[in-house]
Every structure is written in C-alpha cells, then in structure tokens.
Amino acid sequence: MITAVPTPAEARPAPNSMRPTSRAAGILYLVSFVSIPSLALYNPVRDNADFVLGAGSDTGVLVAAFLEIVVALAGVGTAVVLFRVARRQSETAALGFVTARVLEAALIFVSVASMLSILTLRNDVAGTAGADPAALITTAQSHLATYDWAFLLSQSLMPVFNALCIGYVMYRSGLVPRILPIIGLIGAPLLLLSDVAIFFGVYDRAAPLALVAALPIALWELSLGLYLTVKGFKPAAVAALTSTDRDSQLSLA
C-alpha cells in the first residue's frame, strides 16, 4: 500500500486557524476599557470624607468595583489567549506577559477590596451604637489610600511591562502592523517615568502630565484590540511563525 506523504504546504496549518485566537484576544483587550467610567463613579467616595457615614448613594461605587473586576479578568484572559502565539516568538516574553497580567489582576483585586471595605464600614458599622465617626472616616481614608497605591501599581505600572513583553512579540513577529507595537514600546518608558514621578510625589496621578503620559499605552492597547478583532493576525506572519515552530520541533526530534 502506498501512503501519501504530505508536502510542506499540506502540512502547514491554514493561516485562518488562528483567527479565533486573534478575535478572542482583541475582544478581551476592548473589554479591558470598560472600567473607564470607574474614575467618575468613585467620585462620591473621594469627594465626600463623610461618605462612610452614610452620605450619598453607593450604587455607583458597586458598579465601578464590578467593572474593575471585569477588567482584571479580561487582562488575564488576553495573556492566556495570546500565550501560545507569543511563545513561538519568545517564550521569555510570553511568560513575562502572563506574569505581568496576573500581578495586575491581583493588585486590581486588592484595590477593589479596599473600596468594598469602605462600603462594608458604611453599611454595617456606621450608625451603630458605639461607632466613632472620626475613626470611621480615618479608616475609610486609609482604604482609599490603599486603593490609590494599588491602582498605581496595577493599572499604571503593570501596563508598562505588558507593553514591553507583548509589544516586543508583535513587533518581531509582524503579526500586526509594526506601527502598533511601536506606539506601545515608545509609550512604555514614558509611562514608567510618569509612574516613578508619581511614586516620589513629583505630581499627583490625576495631574495632566500623568494623563498625557498614559495616552500612548492606552492608544496601543485600544488599537491592538480593534485590529485583532476586525482583521486578526497577518496571514504571512502566522505562516512564518508556524514554519519556525515546526522547524524547531524537527530539530529537537
């Protein structure tokens, strides 16, 4: 019996086989922007020191906390989905991306827990017999400070390493137009410098300069999400990665 031997062209997976992966990654990147309204929804806590005593509605705070949890999970999702693609170009960068995303999500959970703790004090402690209003306000402010620092480390610092890791992979592989990762690779050191300035008290995280420094990374993540959702990876780059991956496996055989 004669067995047909597949030619290299037949053995190579179709480029479109990675379309579901790119679409899923793109959608998850876009989902990570749903927490933008959180900045405004948390204003009742920030603007009213006596919020913990019962002033104002807490619905917006709950919505904001939920949106941030969604963002944390979406961020981990992007790393999980893109890992098998990124590791074909650089296993170190792929692992770095996953690690940064997991740390980002963990710190987001810390920040959300801080906000929810304020609500617990408000709903379960404030107004009860023996509750000290001054002590409650002080405790709430400490939780708010924890949120601010956790936010800096999670949603400002970690995106720097995310951009460096996955931006390197996308630039070297050519899976997306190189102008997109270039934006991220340029924006990463700018945001890092801004985070260091905020850390040492040069200016506040809400300062105009801090917002400007964050724009390139935001543009990079948004454009990457849109491109992967609408167009997906470049077929030629996918074929090249697949060929390289197969050659590596043959060399190890």
Q: Which pLDDT score is estimated for 57? A: 79
User: Hey, what's the torsion of the CAs at 207, 212, 213, 216, to 10 degrees?
Assistant: 150
DSSP string for 125-154: ITTSTT--HHHHHHHHHHHHHHHHHHHIII
Q: What is the mean pLDDT of residues 202-229?
A: 96
Question: Which has the higher per-residue pLDDT, 41 or 5?
Answer: 41
pLDDT digits (tens, 9 = 90+) for 58-91: 899 999 999 999 999 999 999 999 999 999 999 9
Question: Is the pLDDT reported for residue 227 higher than 60?
Answer: yes
Q: Which pLDDT score is estimated for 127? A: 79
How would residue 245 be classed by pLDDT, with cut points 50, 70 and 90?
low
Nearest alpha-carbon partner for 191 in 207, 167, 210, 165: 210
Lowest mean per-residue pLDDT among 7-16, 57-66, 210-219? 7-16
Q: What is the mean pLDDT of residues 178-199?
A: 98
Question: Is the pLDDT reported for residue 177 higher than 50?
Answer: yes
Q: Which pLDDT score is estimated for 242? A: 75
Look over the chain and give the mean of its residue pLDDT values, rounded to a whole number: 90
Dist. CA 128–CA 124, nearest whole Å: 8
How would residue 244 be classed by pLDDT, with cut points 50, 70 and 90?
low
pLDDT digits (tens, 9 = 90+) for 19-62: 999 999 999 999 999 999 998 999 999 888 889 998 677 899 99
Q: What is the mean pLDDT of residues 219-236?
A: 97
How would residue 13 be classed by pLDDT, with cut points 50, 70 and 90?
very low
Write the CB contacts of 211 (distance below 8 Å, at least 6 apart in sequence).
none
Nearest alpha-carbon partner for 216 in 168, 180, 243, 244: 180
Q: Which pLDDT score is estimated for 4? A: 52
Tell me how far CA of residue 17 lies from CA of 51, 80, 123, 170, in angstroms: 52, 17, 51, 18
Q: Which pLDDT score is estimated for 11? A: 42
Q: Which pLDDT score is estimated for 31? A: 98
DSSP at 121: I
Domain boundaries, given as residue ranges, for the chain: 18-240
How would residue 198 be classed by pLDDT, with cut points 50, 70 and 90?
very high
In a 10 Å sphere around its CB, with 0-12 CB exposed, 13-18 middle and 19+ buried, how is residue 116 labelled?
middle
Question: Is the pLDDT reported for residue 107 higher than 60?
Answer: yes
